[in-house]
Structure 1
Amino acid sequence: MSERLKGNILVTGTNRGIGLELVKQLAEKTGEESHIYACCREPEGVRAEALRDLATQYPGKITIIKLDTSDEDSISGAVRAVSKQIGAAGLNLLINNAAINKPALPGSLAATGKKDMMEVYETNVAGPFLLVKMFLPLLQRAAERDTPEKDKGDKMSCRRSAIINISTLISSIEKCPETFHMAQMYPYRTSKAALNMLTRCQAEEFKTHNILVTSIHPGWVRTEMGGEEAPLTTQDSVVGMLSVMSSLSNKDSGMLLDWQGNMIPW
């Protein structure tokens, strides 16, 4: 379903894991009219080699942008760079994927300090907040363009103008008794719960602009953060998420869904 996504698409945290796979599948499955802005902290570093190789495979389709979501100046610089290239077209889809987890698993209360809490919150919540705030004019520009005929009567979609915040099942307060034994992860859990509230607030504010805002849980994925025991590959997770994104509409704005489109309680 991901071929239905199009336009200017920006993804954060793309040097590895889910972010890298998002860029890969978007590059493969979107048309020539689409352009992907792949953001990472150190575009010239060793950890971004796979991303650079991917950009080489799709010349003219992927632009790598330097972005540290914990640094406001870096965010401002990324917004300026993207704005200059996009011009009048606007930004159709912003995927806030970049996130960190501290301390190391299982992240018990005894092992967690104030610094861990603040650093994780800064990247996982304040970063997406500032990105959306600064990119809002470009998102509005995309939303104000003519609505495709297929979207008549349903004004919101990821083809038009949308923000996707990558969240997690363990952000769910209701499901905490079911998931807490897996890993305590105090900073990560609480930051993602805050990200869910950010999603809800932005969905309320931006509905007048016809900008869709949804949180998506990618599943438990085999990544550096997810670990080797995770049952999902990045490929399968991203196939599912892109399918969900391609079908989102007004009714899904402000919701927390999983990679298969199932609703997760707050």
Structure 2
Amino acid sequence: MEGSQCYTVLVTGANRGIGLELVKQWLRKPNPPKMVLATCRDPEGTRGQELRNMASKHSNLKILQLEATDPASVEAAAKKAEVHLGGCGLNFLINNAGIMPACSLESATSKDMLDVYNTNVVGPMLVTKAFLPLLKKAANASQQKGMCCVKAAIINMSTVLGSIEKTPETYHFMPVVSYRCSKAALNMLTKCQSMGYKDDGILCTAVHPGWVKTDLGSDQADLTVEESVNGIMKVLCNLCEKQHGVLITWEGKVLPW
């Protein structure tokens, strides 16, 4: 469904890296969404400046304060989003916010594990629950049959590092134990969501963006942010029922859980 219009989009962690580039590329589409909702922890801070600059030029971009680990913040953002959407539902929810601190088997502490799990797993769970009524509204309003990208979709930004089957190939390259464990849990959350929301017509997919030159990645990474998001956008705009409940790469290839 390349080129199909997505009417409303929400991206978490949208003030930098992949999240910021996703917002830029949604806005640059020849048929941009009716509304792009960009969320971050501190919209008024220094890191929110680029988003604020874009919002001054694009009336269809709204910035929301959202701390994904804080239920009150998430609920407040959902209420503001409903107002901005003006009666429309939410077609795309992209759970992009995440952290990846250095963490080995030797250095890991209970706090390390819980902090990362809270951001990378509990956060997407809370955000999805809060925005679920808007996703259901979009799905119910759609005339499309089955699940597809222009109806309603939940996208969880995951990684090949969360693939248990691929661990022997990737572990020594990047141990980051707390991050790996959290993304494996996010993959399970995605699979559970794909089962739980199937009857609502909401497509649920986990996406591996590749090894990207971001704050979470490395200067030695394979991909620029633009290259990764170019691929992600092609994947998102062509999502259909066969990608429901799978882990898919930025190039559209299915990875094993």
Calculate the TM-score normalised by the size of structure 1. 0.93
Corresponding residue of 2:154: 163
Range that drifts further, 24-33 or 138-147: 24-33
Conserved 8 A contact 1:218-1:258: yes
Q: Specify every segment of 5 or more residues in structure 2 that has no aligned partner in the other structure, as ranges.
A: none
SS in 2 for 1:57: coil
Q: Give 1:5 deviation, angstroms.
A: 3.9
Conserved 8 A contact 1:2-1:29: no
Pair 1:115–1:208, CA change in 2 (3 A): same
1:35 maps to 2:39? no
Q: Give 1:32 deviation, angstroms.
A: 5.4
1:182 maps to 2:173? yes
Q: Give 1:33 deviation, angstroms.
A: 5.2
SS in 2 for 1:109: coil
Counterpart of 2:85, as a letter, is: I
> Alpha-carbon deviations, 1:148-181, whole Å to 9, x = none?
xxx44xx211211000000001100001010001
Conserved 8 A contact 1:2-1:242: no
Corresponding residue of 2:238: 247
CA distance in 2, matches of 1:25, 1:8: 14
1:213 maps to 2:204? yes
CA distance in 1, matches of 2:230, 2:253: 15
CA distance in 1, matches of 2:228, 2:33: 25
Corresponding residue of 2:131: 135
Q: Give 1:225 deviation, angstroms.
A: 0.9
CA distance in 2, matches of 1:8, 1:86: 8
Aligned length: 257
Corresponding residue of 2:65: 66
Calculate the TM-score normalised by the size of structure 2. 0.96
Q: Give 1:113 deviation, angstroms.
A: 1.1
Counterpart of 2:176, as a letter, is: M
> Alpha-carbon deviations, 1:169-205, whole Å to 9, x = none?
1100001010001121111101101011111011111
CA distance in 1, matches of 2:123, 2:50: 24
Counterpart of 1:229, as a letter, is: Q
Conserved 8 A contact 1:4-1:30: no
Pair 1:73–1:30, CA change in 2 (3 A): farther
CA distance in 1, matches of 2:64, 2:121: 20
Corresponding residue of 2:90: 91
SS in 1 for 2:93: strand
CA distance in 1, matches of 2:203, 2:226: 25
Conserved 8 A contact 1:23-1:38: yes
Conserved 8 A contact 2:26-2:32: no
Q: Specify every segment of 5 or more residues in structure 1 that has no aligned partner in the other structure, as ranges.
A: none
CA distance in 2, matches of 1:30, 1:94: 21
Matching residue within 99, 106, 114 for 1:118: 114
Q: Give 1:31 deviation, angstroms.
A: 2.5
Matching residue within 244, 249, 257 for 1:258: 249
